[in-house]
Every structure is written in structure tokens, then in C-alpha cells.
Structure 1
Amino acid sequence: MADALHLLINPRSAYGREERRSRIERLLRTQGYEVTTHVTAAAGDAENHTAALGPDALVAVVGGDGTIAEAARGAVRSGAVLIPLPGGRGNDLCRYFGIGLDLERAVQQLPTYAERRIDAGSIDGRVFVGVATIGFDAIANDFANRSKVRGKTVYAVSALRALARWKPMTFTLLVDGEPRTLVGTSVVIGNTGRYGGGMRICPRAEVDDGLLDLVTIGKVGRLDFVRTLPKVFTGSHLAHPQVHMEQVRTVRVEAVEGGRRAHRRRMAIYADGDRVAAVPVEVSVLPDAVRMLLPVAGRADGRAASRAAG
């Protein structure tokens, strides 16, 4: 008897069109699944649909990081098991978990996957899976979301666009209850630690250690920033003297001040590519919060082999 599988697709994804969607459905059936497809209609639909399923429902999600994060919020509520599949612009969650960016091949490899529980992050109760950020990154993310360019190039272009008019800002923080002040560029809180189409902003982040990785970036000149930006794709930016990394359980962003007025007006915390909330906000870890079906061979960067649940 075929296993029941719910296929959740963002219509704006690379596989949102009916003819490509039908091909994925056929491929899933050849893997032994009885497929029920749901095409999302609006923001929040992926969360609500997944939350309404049974506690052991299997849900394959085709879309970008935002769609997968939405489904994860629903899975935390229902206990459903997620299969993240590539279909977005950056596909950073799939990159982290070692899921190939060729969707058809990823589907063919599903029989080799195993269930695993992963941590999630929470922003005032709103679940995210990958990276939350505020500061320069938020402005660059805003530019990227407004862009019509596809592919990871959009993130580098948006970063350079934000850099052209950037001025350092002052971040007032509580890190695990300890007051901090940062004058500089960004506050980044990573669970998987990847964003921007392959940037390893928190390169040491582990998704099952019960902790979040906090990366803060101080004052960096424009030329220095341009020189350092390519290093984020390898994680070697941590060697920069203005970059600091530590593991934490909670980060409260009390205020973001200074910089340009236009940037202050647009400032908010972003997570998994989407705007979430203005400050003040608290980011915390939710250990073992999400059940996923994932490759057992480990992440694409070769670190920390995946472990089957139990």
C-alpha cells in the first residue's frame, strides 16, 4: 500500500506551473507515495494547511526558504514530518541539509532519507528554521525581495546596493540576559546559518545542538566590506577582527538607532528571507522542534553527518 504524502507547492516557485507540478507528482508516485497536492494561495497558507494535518502526516514542501519555514511553523503545531525540496531563489535550507538543487533528482533520492528532529528558532513565538538578521542584512534582504532578478546573484547585488548608502547603526541587545551594545553593521542569529543563496554567515551552526549561533559585525569600511563579502560564501569571514561569533540561547534586540533615517524607518528583523517584526524582539531556540525527513549522508558542506531520529 502506498504511503500518503501531502505535496505543498508555492505557485511562484520554479515548479509552480501545472505541467512541471504534474511531473513531480508522477515522480513521487513512482517512489511509492499516494500524493495529495495543495497549492498555496496566500501568505500563511502553508502554515495553516500543515497545522491542520495529522501528527504523523508526511509533507513534501516545494518552494523557497520562506515557504519551508511557513510549513515548519505548522508542523510544530501538528507534529507533521516535513520533506524540504528545492524550488526557491536561494534554497539555503536545502543546501544546508545536503538536498540537491535538482528537484527531480532530489525526489528520486527520497527512499534514502531518514527522519530527524531539528532545532528551530523563535522570534516572539514565530518559528523560523534558517537565519534571523537585523541591520545591514535586513536592508539588503528588502532590496532582494523587491528585485525581479532570480538566482543567488540578486543577494550580492542587493548587498552592494545597500552598502552604497550605509552608515553604522547602534544595536542595544540582551544576550542570554547580558546587556550589550554594538556599533556597526549587523546582528545575525543562525540556526542552520545559511542565507543569500549559499552564504555561510554562521558557518559553525548546527541544527541539533540546542543553541543558536550569534554573529555580530562591527564597523567595516566599504572597501573592506567588498573585499570580505566573497569570504562569506566559504565562512572564512569569521577571521575578520570586526566579526564576532558565539553560541547563545536567547537574543533580545531592544533598539536599533543611528545610521540613515531611511534605513531606520525600514528596519526590522528578517528570518528565512521574510520580514517578521520591528524591534523590540526576542529570538530564542526551540530544541528538537521540527520533524524532517532528510538525507542521511550529511550536509552539503561535509560537516556533521545527519542522524536518524531515535
Structure 2
Amino acid sequence: MEVEHYAIFSNSKAGKGSALKLLPDFECFLTGKKITYEIFADSLPVTLTGFNCIVIMGGDGTINYVINHFKTIVIPIAFLRCGTGNDYNTLHLGSASHKEQFEIACSNHIVAVDAGTCNGKLFINGVGIGFDGWVVKRNLGKQIFSGQLAYLTTILSLLLFYKERFIYIETADKKMMADIFMLSFAKGKTYGGGFRVAPMAELTDGFLDFVAVKKIGLFNRLRYLPVIEKGKHLQLPFVHFEKAKHIKVTSNFLLQAHLDGEWMEGKEFDILVTPNAFKIKSIIKREK
């Protein structure tokens, strides 16, 4: 019988060092399962040849870093929730305790999930352009709050002064030109610590959920923020929603954006879905 051999990437900066604190317990668990492993702290190997699984200890930003390092990962990926932004890994782990997460990481329950690319860079949860790109930029380097609290406090500070930008958007079925408050292109339902920006998104349907929030006044920004948080916004008159496989976004303005919570900026964005991109050890069943 083949001995399983895991690669473990432990991000020492994730969750203010929580990955390193959890690592000894996971090592003991693997030893008990007779699974051998190699630990990579803050740097990754060139190849995953010889490993049966890669375990990512961190948050959504760590996941994004790993998938962009390798580009293609043919072995299963497992997550241990250790970061401050955990929207994507929570989709696969639910409310699992540490021990339950260890069990999931060593299980054979695997789901093939889609990913996407934006200007050639991979993402697995989603892309945000406009207002939420500014939120991520404003949070760069800030450690006072984390998760949803950091996202929410920055949102409230920006709502008063943020100005929509005129943006041209093209999909296979539609062309749109409008002053846009925010754009989302998602595989996961939530980001920002639980905001259900794309409540209809599915991890395995071969599409990106495209949500555009058009120009809205300050009163409606404040009024509908809780509505967006709960994912009840898709039928609002200033919201456009569709499923798409390829979207092009252009503007004369420099737009702030994020990929899986990692900040970027640009005037042009070429966004595509990549079906069945990764195999994830997960509690979920394949969506139909």
C-alpha cells in the first residue's frame, strides 16, 4: 500500500501566527494516521511531484498565493482555516473544529471546483472591481481589525465619499456602459468576511456570477448595505446580475480591484472561468 505524503504550506503571517500555533497538533494527527509530510514555511517548492496532497494553512489570500505559484495543481488541495479572511475555505470546511478540519484534510471526499483568471492571474473565490477594490486597498497593512469587522469599518468610512466610475462591460450576451459602484465576478457566494455578494454562485457550474451595482446615492448605500450582506440584492433596480464565462471590463479611469481579497488595479480586466480547475478536499457535494 502506497504511503501518503503531504506537502504542508504554513503561512506564518496568517491570522497573526495562528497557522504556526496549529501546526504541531496537525503534525501529531498526521503521524497517528501514518501519513508522512514535508513542511514549507513561507516558501513553496518548485513542484509538487511526489506529494499526494497539499495542505494550505492560512486564509483566502494564502490560497490565492499558492494557486498562482503553481498555476496547475493536479493533486488534491486541503485547507486548514488559519487566516483572517476565510470566505472560501469556509465553503469547504463549514464550522468544522480543528480536529474535524484535520479529518477533512485526510479524507478522500474530493470535489472538482472551477476557478477563474483575471489578466492572467488565477482566482478561486472572486474578483471585485470598484468600491470593494477600494475597501481592500484601504485595508492594506492594517491589523487593528480582521475579517468582516475590518471590511465593515472600511466600508462605512468610504461610503460617504466614494465616486462611481464610468465603465464599459462586455459579455457574450450583453454590452453595458454605466457609472458603476461595484462589480463582482464570483465563484464563491461570499467575501469580506461573510458578505453574500454573489448568493447564486456555484463552485462547479462552469460560470462566473457577474453582479454589477450601478450608481446609487448615499441614502441607498446605507439602506442597502445590510441587504447586500444578506444576499437579498439581486432583484434591486440598480443591480444587474447574470452568469457569464468571459467578461471584459474597460475604463478611462484607473480602477481599484481585488482577486480573492488581494489588491490590484488597472484600466482593463479580462476575466474568464476555468472549469474543473482544482480538486478540493471538502464537506460539500458536487453541485448540479
TM-score by length of 1: 0.83
Once the two structures are superposed, what CA deviation does each residue of 1:169-221 show, in whole Å capped at 9, x if it has no partner?
11112222743212130111001132101111011111111110100001222
> Which residue in the other structure is 1:271 paired with?
259
Q: CA deviation at 1:256?
A: 5.0
Gaps spanning 5+ residues in structure 1: where? 258-263, 299-304
Residues 140-289 of structure 1: pairs in structure 2 closer than 5 A:
140-148=135-143, 149-176=145-172, 178-255=174-251, 257=253, 264=254, 267-289=255-277
Task: Tell me if the contact between 1:55 and 1:80 (Cα under 8 Å) persists in the aligned partners.
Answer: no
Secondary structure at 2:115 match in 1: strand
1:294 aligns with 2:282: yes
Which one-letter code corresponds to 1:131 in the other structure? G
- In 1, the alpha carbon distance for the partners of 2:128 and 2:105 equals 32
**CA distance 1:110–1:81, change in 2 (3 Å):** closer
**CA distance 1:85–1:18, change in 2 (3 Å):** closer
Residue of 94, 105, 108 corresponding to 2:103: 108
Q: CA deviation at 1:87?
A: 1.1
> Which residue in the other structure is 2:22 paired with?
20
Secondary structure at 1:172 match in 2: strand
**CA distance 1:206–1:105, change in 2 (3 Å):** same
**CA distance 1:78–1:94, change in 2 (3 Å):** closer
Which one-letter code corresponds to 2:84 in the other structure? R
> Which residue in the other structure is 2:8 paired with?
7
Task: Tell me if the contact between 2:107 and 2:281 (Cα under 8 Å) persists in the aligned partners.
Answer: no
**CA distance 1:74–1:147, change in 2 (3 Å):** closer
1:306 aligns with 2:283: no
- In 2, the alpha carbon distance for the partners of 1:237 and 1:88 equals 28
Which one-letter code corresponds to 1:228 in the other structure? Y
- In 1, the alpha carbon distance for the partners of 2:252 and 2:263 equals 16
More displaced 10-residue stretch of structure 1: 220-229 or 97-106 = 97-106
Once the two structures are superposed, what CA deviation does each residue of 1:45-91 show, in whole Å capped at 9, x if it has no partner?
45xx3x51128630010111011122223454242321122111120
**CA distance 1:57–1:3, change in 2 (3 Å):** closer
Residues 119-158 of structure 1: pairs in structure 2 closer than 5 A:
119-148=114-143, 149-158=145-154
- In 1, the alpha carbon distance for the partners of 2:227 and 2:100 equals 30
Secondary structure at 2:140 match in 1: helix
1:82 aligns with 2:82: no
Secondary structure at 2:248 match in 1: strand
Secondary structure at 2:240 match in 1: strand
Secondary structure at 1:237 match in 2: coil
Residue of 58, 68, 72 corresponding to 1:73: 68
Task: Tell me if the contact between 1:52 and 1:78 (Cα under 8 Å) persists in the aligned partners.
Answer: no
Q: Matched residues, percent identical?
A: 21
Task: Tell me if the contact between 2:67 and 2:73 (Cα under 8 Å) persists in the aligned partners.
Answer: no
Which one-letter code corresponds to 1:306 in the other structure? R
More displaced 10-residue stretch of structure 1: 138-147 or 103-112 = 103-112
> Which residue in the other structure is 1:93 paired with?
88
Q: CA deviation at 1:227?
A: 2.1
**CA distance 1:109–1:285, change in 2 (3 Å):** closer
Gaps spanning 5+ residues in structure 2: where? none
Q: CA deviation at 1:19?
A: 4.5
Task: Tell me if the contact between 2:116 and 2:124 (Cα under 8 Å) persists in the aligned partners.
Answer: yes
TM-score by length of 2: 0.89
Once the two structures are superposed, what CA deviation does each residue of 1:241-298 show, in whole Å capped at 9, x if it has no partner?
21121000111111154xxxxxx5xx33311011234121200011111122111xx3
